[in-house]
Amino acid sequence: MSDKKRIHFIGIGGSGMSALARVFLEQGYPVSGSDMVRKHLVKELEQMGATVYIGHHPDHVKEADLVVYTSDIPEENAELVEAKRLLLPVMHRSDLLAEILNGKKGIAVSGSHGKTTTTSLISFLLEKAGLDPTYIIGGEMMNGGGNARAGQGEYVVAEADESDRTFLKYHPHIGVITNIEPDHLENYEEDYRKMKEAFLRFANQVKPGGKAVICLDDPDIREIASHIKSDTITYGMKEEKADYLAREIDQGDGLSFLAVERGKELGRITLHLAGKHNIYNALAALAVARYAGISFDTIAAAMEEFRGAKRRFQLIGEVDQIRIVDDYAVHPTEIRATLRAAKETGRRVLALFQPHRVTRAYYLFGEFGRSFQDADRVYITEIYSPKGDKKIEGVDSGKLAEEIRKGSGVEVQYISSQEEMVDALLQEAKPGDLILTLGAGDIYKVAHRLIEELSH
């Protein structure tokens, strides 16, 4: 890749693909791509000089020297088929990321939850410390800088995705595991044990001289910890033997805690983030930053400045004392943590839930049912099913609504369309309420529509 070849990204508007495209654009490569919709990430890439086609056509790859695709791109995609017919080099996104990450001091952040916030925070800390990192994130930082940056420093920070097992392609200098929970089991032969074995393998792929950074409070990480051959740095809130601990936790306007490093008090850290789960993300970032040689004062100042990642308990707006927040939560554990953070505001919580993937709903059906206890009222819409998701008979939002009503003991209303959901919320919402949109699909559009309607 040293001779600035033209790279074509199929599905360039996705969070992961657009991040990679941005890095190569900043490094001076000619970049093209295609997508079905001209999203804001696509527009930003066009402004940077990328050629982006709306729609897929074989002609789009004729000038490419390398074609990049993701697991969501079907084999029959016209551009992928043409690239193979022309015998062009074709790479999965994860292979291209592996070339970048494995070639430098890679910091790969894995885990079932918290990857985007933790990756964003680590990137922000390294940047504020003057280490000029390259970072490739599955979301956008609220502080600016988007979802990617091509730095000149020795560190590359990226999310390591376990959903399709591609995190096993990375051999990082620092490998973070935030937590492990059953999800995406369709890619692990429906066997949670095999998923845990994959995380163990990831930890053991840390390069010699590097560190595996792991959360000791997580029971499944503790289960594999004794089999990790890499040197480890541990963190937690409960396990006293952890290298990094959070003490004297204060959940007022944001979060504050006393950071302890191997028994020594470092000082207080303040975060303008909601939810106790973000303390774990901060501890992981603290452990990485300290290993990278950053002073605690620099870390504490940067953490206080950090404003999180978009779609991670993101305040969309407040009108007539009705607050609207959007969150990417898709897994029952993420939903519980996000709803807990919402409940801690003292407001009545109206949760708008868009399930993501039929397969996830199937495997975690009962868990979803028990995850909404901190909501005062739940609205559920159709399952957002991306390409490649299986159709499973008997799994739908209507049945999920019944399970939530039974398992969480809250009032649940199934509404098929987003337009009807907006109308229902405009009728129901009162001053002092918190409306929370939950899901990885396009439910965030409801949050923005509500702000528009309430502002009229």
How many whole angstroms separate alpha carbon 125 and alpha carbon 249?
A: 21
Alpha helices in 103-241 (DSSP H): 115-128, 192-204, 219-225
Residue 28's Cβ-side half-sphere holds a number of Cα atoms within 13 Å equal to 4
Q: Is the pLDDT of residue 230 over 90?
A: yes
Residue found by looking up tokens 């308990």 in the block = 313
Q: 82, 127, 140, 159: which is the annotated catalytic residue? A: 159
338 classed as catalytic: no
How many whole angstroms separate alpha carbon 187 and alpha carbon 56?
A: 27
115 classed as catalytic: yes
State the first-to-last Cα distance of the chain, in angstroms, to the nearest integer.
Answer: 52
pLDDT for 66 equals 96
Amino acid at 279: I
- Read off the pLDDT of each residue in 53-64 and give the average, rounded to a whole number: 95
Torsion sign over Cα 323, 327, 332, 338: negative
How many whole angstroms separate alpha carbon 433 and alpha carbon 447?
A: 14
Q: 70, 79, 82, 115: which is the annotated catalytic residue? A: 115
How many whole angstroms separate alpha carbon 224 and alpha carbon 201?
A: 10
pLDDT for 93 equals 94
pLDDT for 315 equals 85
**Across the beta sheet with 7-10, what order do the strands follow?**
51-54, 31-35, 7-10, 66-69, 90-92
- The predicted model scores a pTM of 0.82
Q: What is the 3-state secondary structure (H, E, C) of the chain?
A: CCCCCCEEEECCCCHHHHHHHHHHHHCCCCEEEEECCCCHHHHHHHHCCCEEEECCCHHHHCCCCEEEECCCCCCCCHHHHHHHHCCCCEEEHHHHHHHHHHCCEEEEEECCCCHHHHHHHHHHHHHHCCCCCEEECCCCECCCCCCEECCCCCEEEEECCCCCCHHHHCCCCEEEECCCCCCCHHHCCCCHHHHHHHHHHHHHCCCCCCEEEEECCCHHHHHHHCCCCCCEEEEECCCCCCCEEEEEEECCCCEEEEEEECCEEEEEEEECCCCCHHHHHHHHHHHHHHHCCCCHHHHHHHHHHCCCECCCCEEEEEECCEEEEEECCCCHHHHHHHHHHHHCCCCEEEEEECCECHHHHHHCHHHHHCCCCCCCEEEECCCECCCCCCCCCCCCHHHHHHHHHHHHCCEEEECCCHHHHHHHHHHHCCCCEEEEEECCCCCHHHHHHHHHHHHC
3-state SS assignment for residue 182:
coil
Instruction: Check: CB of residue 181 under 8 Å from CB of residue 220.
Output: yes
At residue 50, φ and ψ (nearest 5 deg) are: -75, 150
pLDDT for 149 equals 94
Instruction: Check: CB of residue 195 under 8 Å from CB of residue 162.
Output: yes
Q: What is the pLDDT of residues 423-433, one digit of tens each?
A: 999 999 999 99
Tokens of 292: 């990278």
Q: What is the pLDDT of residues 383-419, one digit of tens each?
A: 988 777 778 888 899 999 999 999 999 999 999 999 9
Q: What is the pLDDT of residues 241-286, one digit of tens each?
A: 999 999 999 987 789 999 999 999 999 999 988 888 899 999 999 9
Please, which pLDDT band fits residue 2 given cuts at 50, 70 and 90? low
189 sits in the region (left: phi over 0; alpha: psi -120 to 50; else beta) called left
Percent of the chain with pLDDT over 70: 99
pLDDT for 1 equals 55
Residue 293's Cβ-side half-sphere holds a number of Cα atoms within 13 Å equal to 3
pLDDT for 447 equals 94
Q: 116, 178, 333, 359: which is the annotated catalytic residue? A: 116
Tokens of 19: 């991040």
Q: What is the pLDDT of residues 98-114, one digit of tens each?
A: 999 999 999 999 999 89
Q: Is the pLDDT of residue 293 over 90?
A: yes
Q: Give which of 299, 236, 305 is closest to 267, Cα–Cα.
A: 299
- Read off the pLDDT of each residue in 340-359 and give the average, rounded to a whole number: 91
Q: Give which of 164, 232, 242, 162 is closest to 202, Cα–Cα.
A: 162
pLDDT for 440 equals 86
Q: What is the pLDDT of residues 168-224, one digit of tens each?
A: 999 999 999 999 998 888 888 889 999 999 999 999 999 999 999 999 999 999 999
More confident residue, 390 or 365: 365
- Read off the pLDDT of each residue in 124-142 and give the average, rounded to a whole number: 93
Ranges 132-141, 187-196, 305-314: which has the least confidence: 305-314
Helices 296-305 and 115-128 pack at an angle, to 10 degrees, of 120
pLDDT for 163 equals 85
3-state SS assignment for residue 144:
coil
Please, which pLDDT band fits residue 240 given cuts at 50, 70 and 90? confident
